[in-house]
Amino acid sequence: MLKFLEIRDFALIDHLSLQFREGLNLLTGETGSGKSIIVDALGLLAGAKARSEMVRTGSGKATVSACFEGVERLRGPLEASGLEFDSEGVIVRREVVPDGRGRAFVNNQMVPVAFLRKLGTHCVDIHGQSDQQSLFSRDSQLRWLDLYGGHQVTLAEVEGLYSRLEGAWEQVRRLKLSEQERLRAIDLLSFQVDEIRKAGLSSPDEESQLLEERRLLSNADRLFQAAHQAHVRLYESEDSIGARLRQTGRLLEELGSLDPRCRGLQDQFQSACISIEDVSLALREYASGVEVNPSRLDRIEGRLVEIDRLKRKYGESVEAVMAHGRRIEGELEELQEADRRVESIEKELQVLESDYLSRAGSLSLQRKTAAERLECSMGGELGQLAMEKTRFRVAFSSAPGSGGQASSGHGVSGSANGTDVIDFLISPNPGEDLKPLAKIASGGEVSRIMLALKTIRSIDDEGKTLIFDEVDSGIGGRAADVVGRKLKVLSRANQVLCVTHLPQIASYADNHFHIRKRVENDRTVTRVDRLDRESRIREIARMISGERVTDNVLKHAAELLQSAST
């Protein structure tokens, strides 16, 4: 949900801060006041192309910032891109400079504009003239039809079978290398396997163990001399510490015999002597165990050189080299048994392809049945939206050959989505040919078609902010009231923002914003006010009769509000 929007130096807007709420948010105002500028600003946050004229005259840059709350669906895309996800809200910012270039930020971290487009599909859906909508792509339309028809179980089966087919196709492709390439690969892998095997790597810790042993052998003489000299100075020399301790012990013994209070000192001294004697014995034993072995040191140096060479060729560590060896052993075995494996996999492929085509065929029949229901439902919905003459059709065609087929000579026409490609076709006026939804020119028609589709079934929209611009173009009266009611219903599951010129639609708002244009300090600026009930009555009255607002018009406006709230 869009919680907060701030716009600075964007077109006619010098500075604007808006706090949106759940439900239906309506933007009204006189023509040219800047209502669509706010929609354009949101389009920037969804990754739309920036233009130089978006920067307010005399400003160094235009900035649009927004905070989206309750968007758990953003966690995956953010974390996959190394960005932090904050469950409290995600802040998106876009900056545009006068030459049309700019920067994009998510949670104050710079990101490519393409990432905003990816993120925008999870946050907002803008419906209006020239906007590229989520339902304009064939893949999205197919996904929408599957959601509408409830085909998830069959679709999951088709996806699983296609995944297995892709795996089998890849195996066959690799095994069916040309004979010359296969023999070259066998020679190379055989050499690598033999080299790693001859190295006889014992364990991932071998290198670290050898390094520790080399350190000890390299310092063997110093270790022996240090331990031996320490032992001698403690007990072996004529002037050793041990001799002095014995003299001191006799003195303490004499002192204790003369003064009983000193006998405790003798006990403490005796304990210290025992500890020092233990240290001396340990030093003697350590010195006797120090190994001075130049030949062993040479062998270790050679082994470390060999391990380093293998690491440079096959991995950054002994463990990586051993893992590489295991992997290429499997590849070598696969290449050496290629003919037998190909025959086995091709038999498996025949079964998989048959199963895939069977399930994809069932899915296609389910889709065509759902398409007939959808065409009927759309006819009724569009009729209520003053588009009675509009024809809506779902056109089916076959999917092109798969990548697996092109590369391996095997496969089926289809994809993980099955064997269907669909187009939502529209003919707004009698006598006109049906054309793809994406090529409809009228922004108002596009918005109402989207509204009809989303009223029938939302396409993964729950929690998104849906933005409708020009949804009221060319309608009025009863149709306008129907549009208002449908927007209201849609806003129960999604936050909805809508720009409207019609009082019937405006009366259904949960949150009503009035946009006005005025001159301040010889500059035209746009201002926005959140309206309370009394202000809403006056604004709806203005929408009904223009500048001439009478008591009867105000009464009619109040009645519209009352009727919409019941």
Residue 130 pLDDT > 80, yes or no?
Answer: no
Residue 6 forms beta bridges with which residues? 17, 65
Residue 408 pLDDT > 50, yes or no?
Answer: no
State the burial class of residue 31 (Cβ atoms within 10 Å of its Cβ: 0-12, 13-18, 19+).
exposed
Task: State the Cα–Cα distance between residues 349 and 410, nearest whole angstrom.
Answer: 8
Provide the pLDDT confidence category of residue 402 given band limits of 50, 70 and 90: very low
Query: In the prediction, which pLDDT does 360 show?
Result: 93
pLDDT tens readout for residues 512-556: 999 888 888 878 788 888 999 999 999 989 988 887 888 898 999
Provide the pLDDT confidence category of residue 407 given band limits of 50, 70 and 90: very low
Q: Indicate if 211 and 117 belong to the same structural domain.
A: no
Query: In the prediction, which pLDDT does 460 show?
Result: 52
The mean pLDDT value for 554-563 works out to 90
Q: Indicate if 36 and 123 belong to the same structural domain.
A: yes
CATH number, position 470:
3.40.50.300
Task: State the Cα–Cα distance between residues 501 and 3, nearest whole angstrom.
Answer: 24
Provide the pLDDT confidence category of residue 511 given band limits of 50, 70 and 90: very high
Provide the pLDDT confidence category of residue 401 given band limits of 50, 70 and 90: low
- Specify the 3-state DSSP secondary structure of 458: coil
Residue 336 within any structural domain of the chain: no
Provide the pLDDT confidence category of residue 507 given band limits of 50, 70 and 90: very high
Query: Of 290, 311, 332, which marks where a domain is finished?
Result: 311
Residue 553 within any structural domain of the chain: no
Among 371-380, 390-399, 428-437, 458-467, the least confident range? 458-467
Residue 355 pLDDT > 90, yes or no?
Answer: yes
Q: Indicate if 1 and 115 belong to the same structural domain.
A: yes
Going from the C-alpha of 129 to that of each of 40, 349, 447, the distances in angstroms are 11, 47, 8
pLDDT tens readout for residues 99-119: 888 899 998 889 998 888 888
What is the domain extent for residue 270? 206-311
- The pair phi, psi for residue 56, each rounded to 5°, is -60, 135
- What DSSP string describes 402-448? PHHHHHHS---B-BTTBSEEEEEEEE-STTPPPEEGGG---HHHHHH
Query: In the prediction, which pLDDT does 204 show?
Result: 86
**Which of 248-281 are b and which e, b meaning 16 or more Cβ less than 10 Å from the residue's Cβ?**
eeeebeeebeeeeeeeeebeebeeebeeeeeebe
Query: Of 311, 328, 362, which marks where a domain is finished?
Result: 311
pLDDT tens readout for residues 34-78: 778 888 899 899 888 888 889 988 888 999 999 998 777 788 888
Q: Indicate if 109 and 20 belong to the same structural domain.
A: yes
Q: In what order do the strands lie in the sheet with 62-68?
A: 13-19, 2-10, 62-68, 90-96, 102-106, 109-111
pLDDT tens readout for residues 426-471: 888 888 889 887 776 566 677 788 888 888 875 555 668 888 887 7
Q: Indicate if 124 and 231 belong to the same structural domain.
A: no
Task: State the Cα–Cα distance between residues 494 and 515, nearest whole angstrom.
Answer: 23
User: 470: Cβ–Cβ under 8 A, 6 or more apart, which residues?
Assistant: 128, 129, 443, 444, 446, 447, 499
Residue 129 pLDDT > 70, yes or no?
Answer: no
The mean pLDDT value for 84-88 works out to 81
Query: Of 275, 296, 311, which marks where a domain is finished?
Result: 311
pLDDT tens readout for residues 207-248: 888 887 777 777 766 777 777 777 777 777 767 777 777 777
Task: State the Cα–Cα distance between residues 496 and 463, nearest whole angstrom.
Answer: 10
Residue 375 within any structural domain of the chain: no
Q: What is the mean pLDDT of the chain?
A: 83
Residue 401 within any structural domain of the chain: no
Residue 517 within any structural domain of the chain: yes
Amino acid at 313: K
Residue 358 within any structural domain of the chain: no
Q: Indicate if 125 and 210 belong to the same structural domain.
A: no
Among 336-340, 385-389, 513-517, name the most confident range: 513-517
Q: Indicate if 121 and 17 belong to the same structural domain.
A: yes
Q: Does 275 or 400 have the greater pLDDT score?
A: 275
- Our count of domains for the chain comes to 2
Residue 388 within any structural domain of the chain: no
Residue 363 within any structural domain of the chain: no
Q: Indicate if 1 and 123 belong to the same structural domain.
A: yes
